[in-house]
């Protein structure tokens, strides 16, 4: 097995006295793990930061063997880890992706979307320019894993007009008319999740409430539920930034 490509670092786990097992997301080959000799050394620690882009070279004698991985830094976001809000976003995005995607299965749309969100965070660390994109990434990840939400038409009437809510049970959209009298049992659907555009803060938090509901229920279950603590820290910092 030999793979040489760029990848986004997702997770680093110590292994042995000086090494590290690194999981990284490639564009065409999905999540790939590899053992980096000296991965915890002073020279490689700045390279092996979550959300950094690396040029990786994975080599193994068989497909069942953990590959040896050598890395070269392509683009660093390490400076953002010193800023609380961007750091929380990077932590959550990489932890979510690492915890949910199966290895060696291609997810090119997720790779492209994650790259776009990371670029947005780097360009605007204050969150105004990337919070909506982060919610859309969570929505895409749900869809790519088979838990997509049906937001295009009302699950009650079939209409595509005046869609305003999401059922927390089915994940289907509900029109304003069909929701009458039951609004408090439904999740408000911000328009940008369907039509795009730049959301205001109430819409951002409404979107995160939707994606958070289904991530916790359908994806981040059992031992993977621990990952949600990173999301809670991010939401808390977003709320404090807006207040």
Render pLDDT for 6-31 as a digit per residue (tens, 0 to 9).
999 999 999 988 899 999 999 999 99
DSSP state letters, 87-108: HHHHHHHHHHHHHHSPBT---H
Please list, in sequence order, all residues whose beta carbon lies within 8 angstroms of the beta carbon of residue 120, skipping any fewer than 6 positions away: 129, 130, 133
Q: Give pLDDT, residue 174.
A: 97
Name the band, by pLDDT with cuts 50, 70 and 90, for residue 198: confident
- Could you tell me where in the chain the CATH 1.20.1440.120 domains are found? 80-242
Q: Which CATH number fits domain 80-242: 3.90.1010.10, 3.90.1300.10, 3.40.50.300, 1.20.1440.120?
A: 1.20.1440.120
What does the pLDDT read at residue 130? 95
CATH 2.40.50.140 segments of the chain = 2-76
Domain 2-76 class?
A: mainly beta
C-beta separation of 29 from 69 below 8 A: no
d(CA 52, CA 207): 27
pLDDT at res. 138: 98
| Of 210, 212, 209, residue with least CA distance to 227 | 212
Residue of 150 and 63 predicted with greater confidence: 150
> Which tens digit of pLDDT belongs to each residue from 88-118?
999 999 999 999 999 999 999 999 999 999 9
Provide the whole-model pTM.
0.95
What tens digit of pLDDT does each residue of 33-75 get?
Answer: 999 999 989 899 999 999 999 999 999 998 889 999 999 999 9
Distance CA 71, CA 4 (A): 10
């Amino acid at each position: 097995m030999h793979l040489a490509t760029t990848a986004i670092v997702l997770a680093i786990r110590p292994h042995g006295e000086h090494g590290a097992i690194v999981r990284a997301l490639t564009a065409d080959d999905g999540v790939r793990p590899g053992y980096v000799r000296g991965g915890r050394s002073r020279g490689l620690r700045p390279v092996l930061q979550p959300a950094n882009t690396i040029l990786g070279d994975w080599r193994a004698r068989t497909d069942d063997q953990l590959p040896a991985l050598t890395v070269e830094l392509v683009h660093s976001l390490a400076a953002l880890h010193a800023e609380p809000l961007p750091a929380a976003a990077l932590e959550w995005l990489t932890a979510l992706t690492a915890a949910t995607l199966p290895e060696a299965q291609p997810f090119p749309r997720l790779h492209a979307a994650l790259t776009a969100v990371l670029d947005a965070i780097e360009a605007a660390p204050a969150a105004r320019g990337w919070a909506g994109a982060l919610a859309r990434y969570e929505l895409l990840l749900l869809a790519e894993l088979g838990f997509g939400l049906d937001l295009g038409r009302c699950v009650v009437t079939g209409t595509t007009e005046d869609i305003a809510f999401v059922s927390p049970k089915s994940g289907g959209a509900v029109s304003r008319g069909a929701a009458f009298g039951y609004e408090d049992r439904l999740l408000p659907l911000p328009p940008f999740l369907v039509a795009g555009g730049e959301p205001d803060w109430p819409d951002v938090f409404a979107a995160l409430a939707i994606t958070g509901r289904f991530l916790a229920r359908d994806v981040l279950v059992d031992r993977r539920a621990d990952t949600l603590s990173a999301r809670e820290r991010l939401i808390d910092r977003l709320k404090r930034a807006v207040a």
